[in-house]
């Protein structure tokens, strides 16, 4: 692949910092419209996911774990085999109805000025929420993230934005999708800059904030305006601070292994006739294992919530520490589209819980949920390589701030530093080859204009 070089931009092509800059009206209108469209899209996609989940499991539309626990064993296998058929047929249909190959949002932002095939990307987003609702072990935020990127592309065309402006707007749209899906406007904005765009330049901040807050505000008209993970108030003590210093590097090393596993799975996705056979094998196996471990179904939100409130037994935490990441990687290997945010958070919650129980043998008294919460933040920051956005996202997702901010900062910082030292690739760089990854790092290090 030949990586295009970015020429110097004219004044009218730069990101306008005020309304008096050339082309500012067109740019800011595109930002506003992207936020509105992304908020509506996130609400619609969430509605589809909840409808499919309730239809598939005959239970709660928002708690797949509760529904799966009540379901008959045969339903686990039948529903997941159905998800496999939907995956294979959906991928085949997208290939036939659209020209060209799909493109990852990160790859599009860095090497295609944010341009993505609209129909194929939106089709993949809808396919993603359908199969996640059926129990595939991937995240639901991938769909609104893709939708936000496509809306940003559309309005970039309408307002005739430059490549630099489009690149930022697509990152803002992706972050706005994240913000709208989970009700985290500030975290979504930081995610768009730190993780998707790779830069926290001052001129990028206002567009990201506006897109994310508008999208989240619009989504709140249809989705609940409440914390995703209600947790008790945890007290900060010296033993928990000491634990973060020990657990942080371990979380960083574990994150490297997780990222490399997902990268391997993505590079070995099925092609040709295997697009039908691989999902049947992978998701059929997932259905069988879920009879005994229903916690591996879906994005992991429900079991993470239980872990954060100390309601998961140590033996189950240890089992899920291996089973849940393996399930996510195999779903990627089987060709299923989906997000990586909540699965990464869940893997961190399981790791934190296991390390916390081990610590309690020597220094008892700390609630197990506190360990899981900090572990989730550490792995989230290390796998995305976005420590600032990870900290803010954990604060918004839980509705808490001061009760755990100090140990969270410590563990996220150390985990991310260790992970970045060993592996420059984040969970969102899985589709980039080594040449593209090196070029992405070079472009990220260029000072922003």
- Structural domains present in the chain: 11-219 (1.10.3080.10), 238-445 (1.10.3080.10)
Rounded to two decimals, the pTM is 0.93
Report how far residue 278's alpha carbon sits from residue 243's, in angstroms, rounded to the nearest whole number. 41
Given a cut of 70, the residues of the chain with pLDDT beneath it are: 1-13, 98-102, 401, 445-449
Report how far residue 208's alpha carbon sits from residue 176's, in angstroms, rounded to the nearest whole number. 8
Collapsing DSSP to helix, strand or coil, 137 comes out as coil
What pLDDT, on the 0 to 100 scale, is given for residue 12? Answer: 59
**In this predicted model, what pLDDT tens digit does every residue of 398-418 receive, in sequence order?**
987 677 999 999 999 999 999
Do 299 and 322 meet the contact criterion of CB atoms below 8 Å apart? no
- The per-residue b/e assignment along 328-340, b for 16 or more CB within 10 angstroms, e otherwise, is bbbbbbbbbbbbb
Q: What angle do CA 105, 269, 106 make, to 5 degrees?
A: 10
Q: How many CA atoms does the CB half-sphere of 75 hold within 13 Å?
A: 18
End-to-end Cα distance, the chain:
27
What pLDDT, on the 0 to 100 scale, is given for residue 6? Answer: 47
What pLDDT, on the 0 to 100 scale, is given for residue 447? Answer: 63
**In this predicted model, what pLDDT tens digit does every residue of 364-381 receive, in sequence order?**
989 999 999 999 999 999
> What share of residues in the chain are helix, strand, coil (percent, to 5)?
70, 0, 30
Report how far residue 405's alpha carbon sits from residue 399's, in angstroms, rounded to the nearest whole number. 12
What pLDDT, on the 0 to 100 scale, is given for residue 10? Answer: 56
What pLDDT, on the 0 to 100 scale, is given for residue 442? Answer: 80
């Amino acid at each position: 692949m030949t990586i295009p070089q970015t020429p110097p931009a004219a004044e009218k092509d730069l990101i306008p910092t005020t309304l008096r800059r050339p082309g500012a009206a067109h740019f800011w209108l595109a930002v506003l419209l992207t936020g509105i469209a992304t908020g509506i899209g996130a609400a619609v996609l969430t509605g589809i996911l909840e409808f499919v989940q309730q239809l598939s499991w005959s239970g709660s539309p928002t708690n797949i774990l509760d529904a799966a626990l009540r379901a008959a064993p045969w339903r686990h296998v039948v529903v997941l085999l159905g998800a496999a058929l939907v995956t294979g047929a959906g991928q085949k249909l997208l290939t036939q109805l659209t020209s060209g190959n799909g493109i990852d949002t990160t790859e599009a932002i860095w090497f295609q000025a944010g341009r993505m095939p609209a129909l194929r990307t939106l089709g993949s987003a809808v396919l993603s929420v359908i199969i996640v609702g059926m129990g595939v072990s991937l995240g639901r935020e991938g769909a609104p993230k893709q939708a936000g990127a496509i809306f940003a592309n559309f309005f970039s065309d309408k307002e005739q934005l430059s490549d630099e402006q489009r690149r930022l707007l697509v990152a803002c749209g992706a972050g706005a999708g994240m913000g709208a899906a989970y009700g985290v406007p500030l975290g979504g904005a930081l995610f768009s800059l730190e993780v998707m765009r790779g830069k926290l330049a001052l001129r990028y901040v206002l567009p990201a904030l506006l897109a994310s807050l508008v999208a989240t505000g619009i989504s709140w008209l249809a989705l609940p305006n409440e914390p995703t993970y209600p947790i008790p108030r945890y007290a900060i003590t010296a033993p928990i601070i000491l634990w973060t210093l020990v657990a942080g590097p371990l979380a960083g090393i574990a994150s490297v292994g997780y990222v490399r596993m997902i990268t391997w799975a993505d590079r070995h996705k099925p092609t040709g006739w295997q697009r039908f056979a691989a999902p049947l094998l992978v998701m059929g196996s997932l259905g069988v294992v879920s009879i005994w471990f229903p916690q591996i179904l879906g994005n992991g939100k429900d079991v993470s919530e239980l872990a954060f409130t100390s309601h998961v037994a140590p033996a189950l935490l240890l089992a899920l520490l291996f089973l849940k990441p393996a399930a996510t990687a195999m779903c990627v290997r089987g060709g299923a589209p989906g997000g990586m945010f909540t699965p990464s958070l869940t893997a961190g919650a399981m790791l934190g819980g296991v390390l916390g129980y081990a610590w309690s043998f020597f220094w008892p008294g700390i609630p197990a949920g506190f360990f899981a919460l900090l572990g989730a933040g550490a792995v989230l920051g290390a796998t995305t390589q976005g420590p600032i956005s990870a900290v803010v996202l954990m604060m918004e997702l839980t509705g808490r701030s001061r009760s755990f901010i100090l140990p969270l900062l410590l563990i996220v910082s150390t985990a991310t530093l260790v992970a970045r030292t060993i592996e420059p690739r984040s969970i969102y760089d899985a589709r980039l080859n080594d040449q593209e990854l090196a070029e992405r790092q070079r472009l990220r290090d260029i000072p922003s204009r």
